Amino acid sequence: MLIQFFYTLRAAKLKVTVPEYLTLLEALQAGVIGGPDHGGVASIDDFYHLARTSLVKDETQYDKFDRAFAAYFKGVEMLTDFTAEVPLEWLRKTLELELTPEQKAAIEKMGWDELMETLKKRFEEQKERHEGGNRWIGTGGTSPFGNSGYNPQGVRIGGKGGNKSAVKVWEQRAYRDYDDTLELGTRNIKVALRRLRRFAREGSELELDLDGTIHGTAANAGLLDIRMQPERHNKVKVLLLMDVGGTMDEHVHRVEELFSAAKSEFKHLEFYYFHNCVYDFVWKNNRRRFAEKLNTWDLIRKYNKDYKLIFVGDATMSPYEILQAGGSVEYNNDEAGAEWLQRLTHAFPRYAWINPEPQGVWQYRQSIALIQQLMQQRMFPLTLSGLEGAMRLLSK
Tell me the average pLDDT across 121-133: 63
- Report d(CA 28, CA 1) in Å as an integer: 13
Give this prediction's pTM: 0.52
Q: Residue 316 above 90 pLDDT?
A: yes
pLDDT bucket at 122, cuts 50 / 70 / 90: low
The answer to whether the CB of 140 falls within 8 A of the CB of 101 is no
Asked whether the beta carbons of 307 and 347 are under 8 A apart, the reply is no
More confident residue, 82 or 260: 260
Edge-first strand order for the sheet with 237-243 is 293-295, 281-283, 268-274, 237-243, 307-312, 351-355, 379-381
Provide mean pLDDT across the span 368-390: 92
pLDDT of residue 276: 92
Listed in order, strand segments (DSSP E) in the chain are 130-131, 138-139, 145-147, 154-157, 166-170, 199-208, 228-234, 237-243, 268-274, 281-283, 293-295, 307-312, 351-355, 379-381
Domain ranges of the chain: 3-73, 88-170, 188-195+235-395, 201-233
Residue 160 has pLDDT above 70, yes or no: no
Reference 236, options 299, 180, 306, 301; nearest CA is: 306
Q: Select the highest-mean-pLDDT range: 172-176, 193-197, 366-370.
A: 366-370
DSSP-based three-state secondary structure for 272: strand
Q: How sure is the predictor about 170, in pLDDT bands with cuts at 50, 70 and 90?
A: low
- 80: burial class by Cβ within 10 Å (0-12, 13-18, 19+)? middle
5-9, 78-82, 265-269: segment of lowest average pLDDT: 78-82
pLDDT of residue 254: 87
Which of 4-13, 20-29, 109-118, 164-173 is most confident?
20-29
Query: How does strand 281-283 pair with strand 166-170?
Result: unpaired
Contact (CB, 8 A) for 274 and 284 = no
Confirm if 331 and 379 have CB atoms less than 8 A apart.
Answer: no
pLDDT in tens, 191-242: 777 777 654 445 555 666 778 778 878 887 778 877 776 655 557 889 999 9
In whole numbers, what is the pLDDT of the chain averaged over residues?
Answer: 76
Which of 146-160, 173-187, 320-334 reaches the highest mean pLDDT?
Answer: 320-334
Lowest average pLDDT, out of 76-80, 161-165, 254-258, goes to 76-80
pLDDT class of 79 with cuts at 50, 70, 90: very low
Q: How many CB atoms lie within 10 A of CB 168?
A: 25
Q: Which residue has the higher pLDDT, 12 or 356?
A: 356
Contact 146, 157 (CB under 8 A): yes
Decide if pLDDT at 251 tops 80: yes
**Dihedral angle over CA of 358, 361, 366, 369, nearest 10:** 60
| Distance separating alpha carbons of residues 338 and 374, to the nearest angstrom | 7
CA distances for 287 relative to 62, 160, 245, 343, angstroms: 8, 20, 12, 27
Question: Which of the two residues, 195 and 296, has the higher pLDDT score?
Answer: 296
Sign of CA dihedral 240, 245, 251, 253: positive
Residue 327's CB is within 10 A of a number of other CB atoms, namely 24
Whole-Å CA distances, 116 to 80, 139, 240: 9, 19, 34
Q: Which of 141-145, 152-156, 332-336 has the highest mean pLDDT?
A: 332-336
pLDDT single digits (tens) 82-108? 344 555 555 555 455 555 666 555 555
- Check pLDDT > 50 for residue 290: yes
Q: In what order do the strands lie in the sheet with 145-147?
A: 130-131, 138-139, 145-147, 154-157, 166-170
Nearest to 137 by CA among 124, 150, 123, 148: 123
Predicted local distance difference test score (pLDDT) of residue 80: 38
CATH 2.60.120 fits 188-195+235-395, yes or no: no
Q: How far apart are CA 14 and CA 308, in angstroms?
A: 43
Burial 213-250 (b: 16+ CB within 10 A, else e): beeeeeeeeeeeeeeeeeeeebebbbbbbbbbbbbbee
Instruction: Tell me if residue 268 falls in helix, strand or coil.
Output: strand
Task: Look at residue 158 and tell me whether its pLDDT is greater than 80.
Answer: no
Share of the chain above pLDDT 70, in %: 64
pLDDT, residue 379, reads 96
**Looking at residue 212, what is its pLDDT?**
78
333-340: average pLDDT:
93
Residue 201 in contact with residue 362, Cβ under 8 Å? no
Per-residue pLDDT reduced to its tens digit, 23-54? 888 888 888 887 665 555 667 778 888 888 88
- Reply yes or no on whether the pLDDT at 171 is more than 50: yes
In this structure, how many other beta carbons lie within 10 angstroms of the beta carbon of residue 142? 21
